[in-house]
Structure 1
Amino acid sequence: MAVSGSASDPQRRPVVVLYERIADAIHDGTYPPGSTLPSEPRLATELGVSRPALREALLLLQEDGLLTVRRGVGRTVNDQPPRRGFEQIQPLEEQLSAGGAPLRVRALLRTVEEPTDFTTQHLHAPARAELRFWESLLTGDGAAALSQEWAAADDVLERAHPAFAGALRTAGSAERISMLAVLAGASRGVPLTAHSGVTATSLGQRRGAQLDRPADTPAVLITQVVRAGDIPIMAAKHMLPTGAPALSVVQSG
């Protein structure tokens, strides 16, 4: 069975493009968990690539835990292949649901607004730019968190990836999905990176009312900026009050 793939970006290393084509085939079920990949000569022919490039891509897939080499069998797809790097940027509702009951996204507000100090700083938005703003309540098993997300202007989104602006326009009235979930879903082949800040605070009057908690309830405020390459495409504030599901924090050095 041949692996399909879109035209590659000429500025990206062929091995990286090849890695992503095979990883896509694994994640979309072309090569399901437990299946064995074709032999190197056959796979190289199907993909129209050199064997050295294919071998390097396969080694990277093994290192990342998508494939395992079995003596006498060949390369097999792992039963639970991990997500690739850019897919590991998860929407807050998915992170908070890890190991527990799924959280539901309920839209509080879906609108367009001019830049604030926060979005000017993190999205470099010029004055009078039109930025999508989504405010959502994340609920499950009595726990709740509040999420506020701003997208960069459409021309910036389209420069980062042609699919981003259209995906947000299509999902503009969706009430059960977060902005990051939409962007992550549209990011196919475009690595996303992010950085976050964590601050101890209290809910305050407005957020307390939204979460039906006292204004002085202790909370963690997470600020997040997501980039496609060097272009910031989304900025967010997430408020997790006492009693919200635990959020894992990983430090890299």
Structure 2
Amino acid sequence: MAVSGQRRRPVVALYERIADAVHDGTYPPGSTLPSEPKLAAELGVSRPALREALLLLQEDGVLTVRRGVGRTVNDRPPRRGFEHVQPLEELIGGGSPLRVRALLRTVEEPTDFTTQHLLAPARAELRFWESVLTGEGTAAALSHEWAAPDELLDRTHPEFARALRAAETGGATESGPGAGEDRGTARASGPGPARGPSVSMLSVLVGASRETALSAHSGITATLLGRRRGEQLGRPADTPAVLVTQVVRVGETPVLAAKHMLPTGAPALPVLQSH
């Protein structure tokens, strides 16, 4: 299944709630979901909306209907496409990966988002990368990515720490007025223009993790671009968009957190991996 402007948002939200409940163990593999009336009452939704969400979950291989039993959770429900640890530029680019255009490579203090998802202490210094993903000359997504503090990465995933440092010695990046707005206090990573690679931080992490197991969890919400992001993507401020948040871990330790903004008309985002 892919999220697009054609999908009705209430059903998407309901689909996500049930999928989250499956993946967090509320409805573990092999379990049977409550009956439709009971589940609709528990979730506070209408039965027609619930039925459509359940049909989509069946279609995507999360649930199976068993005669005389009801809807059961498959033994190995597929994870969301963006929970497979794969760079966004490859995930939504299909056979032709999107191009990553670096806007900003810097170091900043934690925000509410990074404090929550990277468990960063208040005075920590976090690498922050801002990029626009483009395909066929059109801006398809705006990505904000943060790495955990260097000292934590040096202990938890030293290969990623080394790869990040090496990557940031790459070509010059582009930055513009207001590039650091709304993200707390930012510092340039060195004298002169910020420098960094035309790749995503997640791509660097995946490349450095051939011997390290990664896991990821993501969330998705509907929103509007707003003025600054609209300017960066060449769209009006009131353009509808999908906001994807992602946290990647090594074991139980978060090493990367990201926000990806995909405006209406961007390539479809896989929500569940089909068989």
Distance 2:197 2:232 in 1: 16
Task: Specify the alignment match of 2:227 in structure 1.
Answer: 205
Equivalent residue, structure 2, for 1:102: 97
Instruction: Output aligned runs, 1:1-253, within 5 Å.
Output: 88-99=84-95, 101-141=96-136, 142-172=138-168, 173-250=195-272
Cα distance, 1:98 vs. partner?
1.4
Cα shift readout 1:90-149 (whole Å, capped 9, x = no counterpart) = 0100101114x3210000000000000000000000011000000000001224210000
What is the CA RMSD across the aligned residues, in angstroms?
A: 1.7
Q: TM-score, normalised by structure 1?
A: 0.63
Partner of residue 56, structure 1: none
Runs of at least 4 residues off by over 6 Å: none
Runs of 5+ consecutive residues of structure 1 not aligned to the other structure: 1-86
Do the aligned partners of 2:139 and 2:234 also contact (CA within 8 Å) in 1?
A: no
Does the residue aligned with 1:121 lie in a helix, a strand or coil?
helix
Deviations 1:67-100 (A, max 9, x none): xxxxxxxxxxxxxxxxxxxx9410100101114x
Find the aligned partners of 1:102 and 1:127 in 2 and give their Cα distance.
36
Q: Is the 8 A contact 1:138 1:145 kept in 2?
A: yes
Separation of aligned partners in 2, 1:197 and 1:104: 24
Shift of 1:156: 1.0
- Mapped partners of 1:164, 1:102: distance in 2: 22
Go from structure 1 to structure 2 and tell me whether the alpha carbon gap of 1:89 and 1:157 turns closer, same or farther (over 3 Å shift). same
Counterpart Cα distance in 1 of 2:99 and 2:273: 27
TM-score (norm 2): 0.58
Distance 2:250 2:273 in 1: 21
Distance 2:273 2:93 in 1: 20
Q: Does the aligned pair in 1 maintain the 2:139–2:233 contact within 8 Å?
A: no
Identity %: 73
Deviation at 1:174, TM superposition (A): 3.4
The separation in 2 between residues aligned to 1:120 and 1:167, in whole angstroms, is 23
Bigger RCO of structures 1 and 2 (CA < 8 A, at least 6 apart): 2
For residue 139 of structure 1, give the secondary structure of its aligned residue in structure 2: strand
Give the whole-Å Cα distance in 2 for the aligned partners of 1:168 and 1:175: 10
Larger Rg: 1
